[in-house]
Amino acid sequence: MNTLQTTHIFQCDDTLDGILTAVYLAWQKGTSCTDIRVRNMNANFSFFEEIHDVATDLSLVERVTHSIETKLSADILFYIYRCALSYAPDKASVIYHYLQKAFRIGPSIVNYLHDETVMRVFELDRQIGTEAHKYLGFVRFEELENGVLASRINPKSNIIPLIADHFADRLHNENWIILDTVRQLAVVHQAGLGYVFTDHITEEQLLAFSKKSMNEESFQALWERFFHTIAIEPRRNDKLQRNMMPLRYRTYMGPENER
Amino acid sequence: MIIQDHMDLMEKLTILSDAAKYDAACTSSGVDKKNNGAGMGNSKACGICHSFAADGRCISLLKILFTNECIFNCQYCMNRSSNDVVRATFTPEEVCTLTMEFYRRNYIEGLFLSSGIIQNPDYTMMQLAETVMLLRTKYHFGGYIHLKGIPGASADIIEAAGWYADRMSVNLEFPTADGLKKLAPHKSRTTILTPMRQIQNGIQQNKLQIYHKRDEGNHWSHDISDAGSSFSLHQKRKTVIEKNGNQSAFPSNHHPTSINSTVNDFISLEDNQHSKNALLSTPSGSKQMFVPAGQSTQMIIGATPESDYHIVTIAEALYRQYSLKRVFYSAFVNVNQDNNLPAQPDGKGVPLLREHRLYQADWLMRYYGFQSNELLSEEKPNFNVFLDPKCDWAIRHLEQFPVEINRAGYYTLLRVPGIGVNSAKRIVKARQSAKLDFQDIKKMGVVLKRALFFITCQGRMMYNTPVEENFITNNLIGIDQRKLFDIEHHHSYQQLSLFDDYHMQQG
Ligand code: SF4
C-alpha cells in the first residue's frame, strides 16, 4: 500500500444529518481512502488530504438511516445520534468507522466492546449520557416577570436535545426556555403544548427578554439558605463536592457558584 | 421551650432544615412516573441530584421537619424537649409553597418531610397527611414525596397519608429494645414496627387491587416497577418464602446464631386485625397508589454498642420481613454533647468510614447476592477498616480464585473485587464474540489494580502474582497502612478520622 496515498476528507455540518450525509458520500468514494470530519472541529490538516466540503442532503440522510434501521437496529441509530451530539473532535470519524464495522458484523456490533472503535463509541455515548444526566439536576430556572422560567447552561456536549423531553414532561404547564450559551441553541417550551429548538439566540438576548419576577429574589435567597443549612459543617468535604459537581457545571447556579 | 409567634418563612426554613439535616434520604425511587397532564412534576427511577452540599452529600429533596416543637425526649436529638433551642412549626401551606417554588426552579426532586412530635403522635401525623394531601390535590404536585410515619400514630391517619406519598419510612432508630429504651424513651419497638407492618401490608394489598383492576380491563397507566427492589433475583431464588408472605424462612445454610435470634425477637411482630386489613378506602383525587416507591427505614449507627454484624443482620431481616426498599444508616453525631452517649471530641461523629462500610455491605446484599453471614460472623463481627467488604470476603475465600474472565458465570464475576454490576454485564456480552484480555476488561470498567489478584484472562494472570493471603492483603491495603491495620485489630474504629473523606466507590 502506498503510504503517501491521498485521503479524501469529507467535511460536514456539526449535526447528525451533516455527518450522515458525509458518511454516504465518503462511502461512495471508497472506505479505504476516505474519512469524515466536522467542519472547524479539529484542524490538524496534512499534505496528503483532499478536503471535500459537504452540504447536508436530507435525501442521502434518509438512505443511510433507512439502512441502519433495517440492516442494524433502531437502537444503533439512536446510539449514533447521541454520539453526534458529543463535543469530541473525532466523533464524525468514529461514527464513520463504527458504521463500516457495523455493516460488516451486524446488529451484534454493540457487544464488540474489545474493539477500539466500538469502545470509543461506547465512551462517547457514556460521556454525553453522564453530562445530560447531571444537567437534569443542575439546570436552574429563574422566574421572569412574564411568568416564563428561564435557564442558561454551558455544557461541553450538545445535550439540550437530550434533556428537553424530561423538562417538557416535568414542567408541562409552564412556559420555559433553556439556553445553551456555548452553542446559542435554545429549547423553548410553551405551556401545555410542546417545544421547539431555536438557534442563534445569545445570552444577551435572553437577559434582555424580561426582568426577573417580583418573588424571584426571595426564593433564590430561601434556596441559598437551605443549601447552606443542610450541610453538616464539621464534615465539610470540598473535594467530594467538586467531584460530584465539577465547577464547570456551576456557572449559572446560585449559591453553588460562590467561591 | 422558646416559641416565637411571628416568624417569617426564612427563619422557619433555617431552623427546620437545620433540624432535618442528619436524616438520610435518597430519591432513587425505582418508580418512573410521568406527569399526568394536569399538574407539575414527574419522578425518575434513577434518581437525580440537584446539588451537592459542602459536605459532599447529594441534595435532591427539600429535606425539612414540619415542626421541632417536640414533646419527646430522645437523647441523641437536638430537638428533644429538654433542650433549649428555638422552636418553629410550618403551616401546611408554607411547606407547599416552598416545595412548589423550589421544584419549578429545578432546585429539587421533591419533598422529604419529617417531624418532631407536636402535641401527640396523631395530631402530628394529621398535619403531615394534610400537607401531602394539599400538595397533591390543590397544588397538583407530581414530584417525589418521602414522608415519615410517626411512631405511635393511628392506622387510619397513616393510611390517609400513604395515598399521597411516594415513599414512607418509620425510623427504627436502634437495633435493640434496650437501645430504644435508653435513648428514645418515648418510642418502643411496637410503636415503630406496627406502622411499618401496616404500610407493608397496605402496599401489598394495593398492588393486588391494581392487579385486579388490570384484569378487569381497566386502563391503568402506572407501572409498578420492581427495579431497585430490595433483593436481587439471585437472592430471591435463594430465599424460600412461605406462602403467607410476611415471614420468610432463612435459607438452609443460614445457621441460627445468637445474633440471629436476638434480631428475630426484636423485629418480629404479631399481626393484629388492624394491620391485616390495612387499606380502608382510596380517597378520590389521590394517585390511587399506596406508597408506590415503597418503604424504607433508618438506623443510627454508633450511639449504641452493636457490632456491624448485628446491624447488617437486622437490615437483612428487615428487607425480608418488612419488604423494605432501603435501610439507611445515619452515623451518630453527638449534637447534645451528652454524657450518656459516646463522646466525640472532634465533633465529627462516628467515622463516616463505618457508615460507608455498612452501605457497601448493604449493596453487596441487595445487588450481588451476598448474605450477611458470608460477610461477617460472631467471631468476626466488624468490618475491616482497610479493606472493603468484598475484598475482605475474597481474601478469606481464596480457594475460589483465580476465576477465568472468559468462562466464569455472571454471579462469580460479581464476586471478584474490582468488578461491578456494569462491568460484569459487559464482560458477559463481549466475550461472546472474542477472547478477552486484561486491556479489554479495563476499558469495560474493571478496576484492574484490585481485580488482578483474583482473575485470569485466557489462562494467564496479569503479573503471575501468588494467590496468597498475606501477599494480596499487603498489596490491597498498601504497605503504609499495614501498621494501622494491625492496630485496628485490637482497637476500634475511632482512630480513623484520616479516612473521613473516603467516599463511595463500588468495586
Ligand atoms: S421524636 Fe425524638 S428524634 Fe424526633 S424530633 Fe422528637 S426528640 Fe427528636
Residue A231 in contact with partner chain B when CB distance is under 8 A: yes
Closest CA to B36 of B288, B208, B206, B281: B288
Q: Please give the tally of structural domains in chain A.
A: 2
Residue B366 placed within a domain: no
Is ligand 1 within 6 A of the CB of residue B116? yes
B105 min Cα distance to partner chain A (Å): 4
Are B411 and B333 in a shared domain?
A: no
Residue A124 placed within a domain: yes
- How far are the Cα atoms of A22, B17, B18 from residue A232, in angstroms, in the given order? 54, 11, 9
Is the sign of the CA dihedral B485, B486, B492, B495 positive or negative? negative
pLDDT for B205 beyond 70: yes
A contact residues 94-133, partner B, Cβ 8 Å cutoff: 108, 110-115, 119, 133
Give residue B304's domain range.
2-35+42-346
Q: What is the pLDDT of residue A239?
A: 87
Are A177 and A124 in a shared domain?
A: no
Residue B9 in contact with partner chain A when CB distance is under 8 A: yes
Are A235 and A153 in a shared domain?
A: yes
Which cell is A124 given? 462517547
Are A124 and A32 in a shared domain?
A: yes
Please calculate the CA angle B109-B147-B277 and round it to the nearest 5 degrees. 130
Mean pLDDT of A183-206: 93
Nearest ligand 1 atom to the CA of B73 is 7
**Cβ distance B88 to B138 under 8 Å?**
no
Domain end call among B315, B331, B346: B346
B501: nearest CA partner in chain A: A237
Residue A22 placed within a domain: yes
Residue B233 in contact with partner chain A when CB distance is under 8 A: no
Nearest ligand 1 atom to the CA of B78 is 8
Are A144 and A251 in a shared domain?
A: yes
B433: nearest CA partner in chain A: A112
Give residue A105's domain range.
7-130
Say how many residues make up chain A: 259
Are A65 and A93 in a shared domain?
A: yes
| pLDDT more than 90, % of chain B | 45
DSSP string covering A20-49: HHHHHHHHHH-GGGEEEEETTT-----TTE
Between helices B92-104 and B9-18, what is the axis angle to 10°?
Answer: 90
Closest CA to B422 of A139, A130, A166: A130
Residue B197 placed within a domain: yes
pLDDT for A169 beyond 90: yes
pLDDT digits (tens, 9 = 90+) for A64-121: 999 999 999 999 999 999 999 999 999 999 999 999 999 999 999 988 888 999 999 9
Cβ pair B53:A149 closer than 8 A: no
**Cα–Cα distance measured from residue A47 to residue A39, given in angstroms and rounded to the nearest whole number:** 18
- How far are the Cα atoms of A115, B106, B337, B456 from residue A129, in angstroms, in the given order? 21, 19, 46, 32
Which cell is A171 given? 414542567
More confident residue, B112 or B247: B112
pLDDT for B421 beyond 50: yes
Other Cβ atoms less than 10 A from the Cβ of A122: the count is: 20
Are A150 and A236 in a shared domain?
A: yes
Please calculate the CA angle A132-A134-A135 and round it to the nearest 5 degrees. 65
A243 min Cα distance to partner chain B (Å): 9
pLDDT digits (tens, 9 = 90+) for B19-74: 998 877 554 444 556 665 666 766 655 578 999 999 888 899 999 999 999 999 99
Is ligand 1 within 6 A of the CB of residue B80? yes
Is ligand 1 within 6 A of the CB of residue B148? no
ipTM of the complex as predicted: 0.92
Residue A2 placed within a domain: no
Q: What is the pLDDT of residue B387?
A: 84
Q: What is the pLDDT of residue B223?
A: 39
B contact residues 419-448, partner A, Cβ 8 Å cutoff: 426, 429-430, 432-434, 436-437, 440, 443-444
Q: What is the pLDDT of residue B331?
A: 80
How remote is the CA of residue B115 from the centroid of ligand 1, in Å? Answer: 8
Bridge partners, B404 (sequence order): B456
CB burial readout A124-160, b (16+ within 10 A) else e: bbebbeebbbbbbbbbbbbbbeeebbbbbbebebbbb
Cβ pair B21:A230 closer than 8 A: yes
Three-class secondary structure of residue A91 per DSSP = helix
Are B306 and B435 in a shared domain?
A: no
Are B305 and B444 in a shared domain?
A: no
Cβ pair A234:B9 closer than 8 A: no
Domain end call among A110, A130, A150: A130
CA neighbours closer than 13 Å in the CB half-sphere of residue B258: 4
Q: Which helix or strand (DSSP H or E) is residue A195 part of?
A: strand A194-199
Give which of B14, B42, B51, B59 to mutate to test A binding, by max A Cβ within 10 Å: B51
DSSP state at residue B7: -
Cβ pair A151:B10 closer than 8 A: no
Are B22 and B93 in a shared domain?
A: yes
Are B341 and B432 in a shared domain?
A: no
Q: What is the pLDDT of residue B345?
A: 56
DSSP state at residue B495: G
Domain end call among A130, A150, A166: A130
